[in-house]
Structure 1
Amino acid sequence: MFKVKISGIGKTVGSRVVASTELEKVMDVKPGWIEKATGIKSRNYVDFENGETALTLGVSAAKKAVEDAGITLDKIDCIIGANGSPLQAIPCAAALYQQELGLGDSGVPSFDIDTTCYSFGVALFLASGLVDSGLYKNILIISADAPSPTLDITDNEVRALFGDGAGAVVLTKTSEDEPSRVHHFKMNTYGSGASFTEVRGGGTLKHPNHPETTPLDNVFHMEGKKIFKYAVRYLPSYFESFFVDSGINQKELKFILPHQTSKHGIDIFRKFGFASEQIASHLSIHGNCIAASIPMLLHDYIKNGEIKRGDQILLFGTSAGLSLGGLALTY
């Protein structure tokens, strides 16, 4: 258990609202297909031509989180980038965030944690240990993803799902009279499913000078049905061990905040003992924003008053690898 709290949270989305009805015309698919298949009515896209990117979204969300925490940027003593997709191959996103936040000469340690869609959950857990130990006082975690500029050459399944957004939090130590805690973390990875979610290019395996590297190697590839079947296979034993090891009563959780994969990917939690009212979602208006999904969802539920101080919640996600991750905390 770590005695830490989320003291500030921020969210920013792409400035373009794209309805599923609009996207269906571009994709030349049957009207109503996207919402029926995914549960998504609309999503936000960045205005890439006017300079809006995952970097600008992340910086904006970070500034909001710092303001929400009641501190100034000079009080941040560590920055963690927790994107689901890299801003560029090198350097890490956190260094770019640091520069854009006006801290480029500060020396504040900045690094990334990358487990694709569950990067935020892992970053929050590891940052909790760093704050609890006293090494850092105010850690800024930023998750931002903006896949929309690449989606026009992906298949319809992928194109229908994704949106652009960012979420950020400031993590600080909990005072003695506050209930906030990070309780339990569990992550399982099944590498036999690694090929189900890939961007093959951008590294040394499919490097630019390799004669077999093609433009498609730099495009997101996903086999959604295989991922779903894999997750369903492992989820029962995952949740059983999570709640046994943590001692947490599943029914006493206020919410499970799952990565916003798709309608089917969210509804499945009812089969694993979660009541409908425990399952948080804003999928219909944001789609799947990759690693930013969970902090964006957390932001909305905190700001609309559905999550209050003292509420026990579970941040859960699946990610490329294939991985399952869960972090239980008292907000």
Structure 2
Amino acid sequence: MSKLLNVKIVGIGKVVGSKIMTSNELGRKMGIKDDWIERASGVYSRHYIDKAIGESALTLGTKAAQLALEDANLHVSDIDCIIGASGSPLQAIPCAAALFQRELGLETSGISCFDVDTTCYSFPLALFIASNLVQTNVYKKILIISADTPSPTLDIAEREVRALFGDGAAAVVVTQTPEGEQSKVHHFKLNTYSEGADYTAIKGGGTLKPPNDLETKPEDNVFQMQGKKVFKTAVRYLKPFLEDLEEETGLTNSDYKFIVPHQTSKNGMEILRKYGFGKDRVANHLRDHGNCIAASIPMVFHDYIKSGQIQRGDTVLLFGTSAGLSLGALSITY
């Protein structure tokens, strides 16, 4: 059994792009049958940022952070650390957390800022790191922000990729759990199988394929995903991963009120039913949000908390896959 961390999410906020793009509208733009996208992906509509009014991952993440602070009944000056946990970078340097700090009016505060990145599974990793930092009294109140807005990059993306993704952001505030309350972080697990490292990739932009190098091709700078290979590889490792998780935590799938998964695709969500998670226990807003990369898990978590489906004292599993190829799980009592 894992050592429990006495840590609590005291506030959560969510923001989406202001434009709604239905799958039929997107299909017409892509020159394909109206119903293909929804049938293939399970996505009826998704939100896109409106660049004309200045929306970006930075503005969405900042607003989500402000909502999380409001939800926690805290002022921005109460925060002593910001962690960026997005699946797509705002820019190469500096870390997104520093840019969020400036947008929040904390540019002279000196509070710690850093990013963590395991693409789509960045939020649970950040939550686990934050929990350890709070548990050991390094920081008292940590703000985690996940913001991903891939829509401006999708025009030249593959059909499968363009059909899936939407724009959104979510943020949480993490503190120590007060005496007598149940909120806990139970266990974190991340397995990486780099045989799938090329299945989901943007190969350009770094030192292996520098932006100005003549050998760097335009397609190296575009998100590429071999969806079928990702799915087959993840499924191959999923059963032993979940079995090991159960042994390590002492928790069975019936102990979780909900599994809160990364909103990958219709097939990615449905596969969880084979492992004892019935449809009514799989948190799902894929139909009207699409896949919002790292923001997906905290966004759907937010929706289930605010709807009352997840309440204080409920044990949930934050589960997902990410580029690498990785499988991740974080069990918590909310």
What corresponds to 2:80 in structure 1? Answer: 77
Q: Kindly provide the CA deviation profile for residues 188-243 of structure 1, in whole angstroms up to 9, marking residues without a partner as x.
A: 00111000001111111110232211222111000000000000000000000001
Report the AA paired with residue 160 of structure 1: A
**Aligned pair 1:299/2:305, yes or no?**
no
Q: Kindly provide the CA deviation profile for residues 47-97 of structure 1, in whole angstroms up to 9, marking residues without a partner as x.
A: 123311001000000000011001100000000000000000000000000
After superposition, residues 211-290 of structure 1 pair within 5 angstroms as: 211-290=214-293
What corresponds to 1:67 in structure 2? Answer: 70
What corresponds to 1:96 in structure 2? Answer: 99
What corresponds to 1:209 in structure 2? Answer: 212
Q: 1:125 aligns with which of 128, 134, 147?
A: 128
Report the AA paired with residue 134 of structure 2: V
What corresponds to 2:193 in structure 1? Answer: 190
Structure 1 residue runs without a partner (length 5+)? none
> Is contact 2:262–2:321 with CA below 8 Å preserved after alignment?
yes
Structure-2 separation of matches of 1:182 and 1:148: 33
Structure-2 separation of matches of 1:32 and 1:63: 38
Q: What is the identity percentage for the equivalent residue pairs of Structure 1 and Structure 2? A: 63
Structure-2 separation of matches of 1:277 and 1:154: 33
Structure-1 separation of matches of 2:132 and 2:188: 12
Structure-1 separation of matches of 2:95 and 2:270: 35
Structure-2 separation of matches of 1:203 and 1:101: 29
**Aligned pair 1:4/2:12, yes or no?**
no
After superposition, residues 117-196 of structure 1 pair within 5 angstroms as: 117-196=120-199
Offset of residue 112 of structure 1:
0.1
Q: Kindly provide the CA deviation profile for residues 274-303 of structure 1, in whole angstroms up to 9, marking residues without a partner as x.
A: 122111100000000000000000000000
Alignment RMSD (CA, Å): 0.7
Offset of residue 249 of structure 1:
2.3
> Is contact 2:25–2:34 with CA below 8 Å preserved after alignment?
no
Aligned residue for 1:152, secondary structure, equals coil
After superposition, residues 11-50 of structure 1 pair within 5 angstroms as: 11-50=14-53
Aligned residue for 2:237, secondary structure, equals helix
- What is the TM-score normalised by the length of structure 1? 0.99
- What is the TM-score normalised by the length of structure 2? 0.98
Aligned residue for 2:83, secondary structure, equals strand
